Chain A
């Protein structure tokens, strides 16, 4: 049974239909990447999965149990953590306070402390910046903070919305290496990306979204070598 299953998901913002009938599923322990052009509905898909927007139709199943219509705070408690588009760090709070908010739902303080150490191992930079306002971090550091903060919820499923956006090529490499590392530690990942090349490289499976519907899906390596994807998303071929 897949960890996450999305069936026939439709979302409308007022009169604008952003998604019509999206199906996808993420297997336990894998990385699924969701790629597509601007406005294809990637962010909307993540928001509907994590309860930020209410779908107009369709179902979201976590562990085979429906979570459609639950509030975000209820879904976080079930082990899903959403690292939103644009990082969403709390600029006027310190790095430490940002991380503490990542563990907001948890009462197992000893384990939270362990997870903090784990995050510091992944992102040593954060440990040096603990008492600094998050808004004063560089863009890359902010992205690290956003991912680290999401990890502090100890998710089984991590939703990442464009983690490489606006980062220098070198840092993009680092971020993708860390995404792989997090996945190898046992976290299932749903990765939304513009950088299709890198995303297809680290992912097990991929879904291509076009104007609110699934255009292609399958094995990431196979999709990366398909002509259509090459032409439309990898900028060559």
Chain B
């Protein structure tokens, strides 16, 4: 990471080979998505695949919001509004597009079928619309100082929600669509308070994995680039940032528009996960969920925010039904032990991927531990109450909240602070030969 930052700062003249290598992450993202889809998917099974899909979308939302709330230190409370703009756009394009093109919106089976491309197109269109709205909302709010952005974005999300609520009824049949006129399209047929249903479930692990990886790469490249440093500096000290020659207003607006676009993209995919798209998707409760990911992960830390988004999506599911995880105890224990042991060995040999392996191992073991504790608690409750159905899953949101409070008390700066996972490992093990510590 440091080497990338150095590259950008001091070594702009690079050879062809370096330039090609610099584009390697995009290829890696594609590879990861394929592996996740074809290898991890079957291992996880349909239920956990669905959880993983939601986790990937949570990652996209959290990482994109992090660009505004984390990097620039602004406070947006309307991220779900942008996601909903993308979501309903994607839903409408996919559903009505399928009715118009193929006479019905049943899911086409297979990999990379035309319907999936319609989803991608619709989601990208959603991203563009969200970006446009982001510009309109952000331009005035970001030029003002203070907390105007929080107020304006809160209002924006609620406006989107109310507009969705008063939208027209969904057109379910190809015939309705064909005979529809101005009256059906104004207000647009987005389902109103009933919500929008029947969008084919094309958001497979491949697509969400691919786009989540792309969003992370974009966020990473920005953070460790010169404009990214400008954003981070404005969060630290606005006057000094301006003294450096940073055009704060411009950078803040750009960051905000980009975050809105990525949220729109995430929303577009979300619409294709088999959910009923409800107006409340745009509301501030949804926005706060995303804010929690960012704050818990560490404002500004990409890896921290990713971990928080995944953790907070998966954890309630484990508490809901720990038995499912315990059934996979063999896999978890194997991955946990192997990755941890391997990671420690890698660390000894100085590999920079060591933290990743240790993290993976610790996560697997941690998941197993949580499942075992939850299941033990269930057994206790059952024998104490005599009710064979007793389940602590009912109280999972209480545990979830308690955990959040605990986390914020222990680490108010979030899991990672502004830094990344690997920085923390680096600091724990200072490079040899570095003069350390001696102060003035």
Contacts and interface: CB of A to CB of B under 8 A. Distances in A.
Interface residues of A, number: 40
Nearest to A136: B439
Contact of B240 (A84, A109, A112, A125): A84
B243 A93 contact: no
Interface string A53-80: 0000000000000000001110011000
B233 A84 contact: no
Given A84-B243, A109-B12, A138-B440, A93 B226 contact: no
Given A72-B243, A82-B243, A104-B245, A91 B236 contact: yes
Interface residues of B, number: 30
Interface stretch (B2-10, B150-158, B343-351, B380-388): B2-10
A107 to B, nearest CB: 8
Contacts of B9: 96, 100, 103, 109
Contacts of A81: 243
A89 B244 contact: no
B440 A52 contact: no
Contact of A104 (B5, B237, B244): B244
Interface in A78-110: 81-84, 87-93, 96-97, 100-105, 109
Q: Output the residue of B236, B300, B418 with the most chain A CB within 10 A.
A: B236
Contacts of B418: 92
Given A100-B226, A149-B244, A84 B236 contact: no
B258 to A, nearest CB: 19
Interface in A175-189: none
Contacts of A138: 439-440
B229 A76 contact: no
Contacts of B229: 93, 97, 100-101, 104
Contact of B243 (A52, A92, A131): A52
B227 to A, nearest CB: 9
Nearest to A138: B440
17 contacts: A73-B242, A76-B243, A76-B244, A77-B245, A81-B243, A84-B239, A89-B240, A93-B232, A96-B9, A100-B5, A100-B9, A100-B229, A104-B229, A104-B244, A105-B245, A109-B11, A141-B440
Interface of A: 50, 52, 71-73, 76-77, 81-84, 87-93, 96-97, 100-105, 109, 112-113, 116, 125, 128, 131, 138, 140-141, 149-150, 153, 171
